[in-house]
Amino acid sequence: MLVSDAVVFGTLALVLGLIFYTRQLHTFKRFYSIVPAVLLCYLIPSLLVSTGVIDTTDSNLYTIASRYLLPAALILMTLSIDLKAILALGPKALILFITATLGIVLGGPLALFLVSLIDPSLLGLEGSQELWRGLATIAGSWIGGGANQATMLEVFGYERSLYGSMVLVDIIVANIWLAILMMSTSKKKEIDRWLKADTKAIDTLQAKVEHYQNEHSRVTSTFDFMGIFAIAFAGVGLAHFLAPRIVKSLLFTFPQLEHPDNVFTSLTSEFLWMVVVATAIGIGASFTKMKKYEGAGASKLGSIFIYILVATIGMQMNLVDALSHPELFAIGLIWISFHALLLIVVAKVIKAPLFFLAVGSQANVGGAASAPIIASEFHPALSSVGILLAVLGYVVGTIGAYLCAILMQAISL
């Protein structure tokens, strides 16, 4: 049993190193053509937790990765952003983002109704133990993230002693869907062909960033590394400095946001504003000479931070524990399946590429932690699209989750 964060982090570093080492070997070429490396970066840590090799009860690794490495990655991966090229991607990205939100809003009530036909006792609970109240917290998490999840917990007053099972379902089902999306990236050309998708705008954006990288690439010096380090973590420090002050100003100007029943209370999330500030820093830096650090590998370092985050996300999921909540697990799987099916149908109708489907979904279900991960799996140049949509997910999160909860309450009457 590995408990110490230092030992666990060393184990994760070894796992990540072995994955990328074997990825370069000819022997594993066929394997990695089917299973993306990033999927293993998530799956192996989860298996280490499920089998008891790692104990994450008191671990702070995810907190460190999400609060320090994530904003650093956002800054470094938006350093070479091309806003004009992103706008040229057209409305399909936004359409699939909205579709993903609707898939969560409508999928929750549908899943609850279908499972209750098999087990009517699920609707027989009363007061703070009513199932729809707990499922509302999952809706909050899947449309925006942890801040919206906590908001739904407060708004609908779900029993705290039962809340852990909802968190478990949230993490496991969301990560299973993330794993499926990761696997789909290895077949993106075939899937885009089936969707009859026009990928010219995406290819153009990718080519422009690649051209810039090749044109400015150089042997990285200590000076370059220190410059990248300074930009990334000075930006992280500034994001952490400004986020609580922005929240304080909002609460001073709009004190009603402090009430848990306010649908815009997620705007008081310091994590939200940390992500927004970090993204703004990266975008701002892309208009200055700091953009030259992309040629020294800024986005590659950002990708390393993202892979570490992926590993810590995987550590949160214990597959064995899921077996003790089969009915909740069934609701979660039906819920996310409806979300996925709706996205596939709409993508097929509007001929949108897999990239928009995957990023639109994760901007909702995974938020700022997962959207850039899945976007960069297509190409690091595209991570900025995931980041911008994830920020939008925070904005609509509480409203969408609240509507979903009301519909689930109606099913339960």
Give the pLDDT confidence of 344-354 residue by residue, as tens digits.
999 999 998 99
Q: What is the mean pLDDT of residues 389-410?
A: 79
Residue 225: helix, strand or coil by DSSP?
A: helix
pLDDT at site 395: 64
Higher pLDDT, 220 or 366: 220
Distance of CA 152 to the CA centre of its chain: 19
pLDDT at site 392: 72
Give the pLDDT confidence of 345-390 residue by residue, as tens digits.
999 999 989 998 998 898 888 776 678 778 878 877 677 777 777 7
pLDDT at site 9: 95
Per the rule left: phi > 0, alpha: psi between -120 and 50, beta: everything else, 54 is beta
Give the pLDDT confidence of 304-343 residue by residue, as tens digits.
888 898 788 778 766 666 666 788 889 999 999 999 999 9
Q: What is the mean pLDDT of residues 145-172?
A: 73
Residue 242 has pLDDT above 60, yes or no: yes
Residue 147 has pLDDT above 60, yes or no: no
Give the pLDDT confidence of 49-82 residue by residue, as tens digits.
888 899 888 889 988 988 899 889 888 877 877 6
**How far apart are the C-alpha atoms of 91 and 73, rounded to whole Å?**
26
Give the pLDDT confidence of 96-106 residue by residue, as tens digits.
989 999 999 99
**How far apart are the C-alpha atoms of 206 and 200, rounded to whole Å?**
10
Tokens of 96: 């699939």
Give the pLDDT confidence of 256-308 residue by residue, as tens digits.
877 765 656 667 878 778 888 888 898 889 889 998 888 888 888 988 888 89
pLDDT at site 93: 84
Residue 122 has pLDDT above 80, yes or no: no
Higher pLDDT, 203 or 265: 203
Q: For residue 108, give every residue at least 6 positions away whose Cβ sits within 8 Å of its Cβ, in sequence order, or none.
A: 135, 138, 139, 335, 404, 405, 407, 408
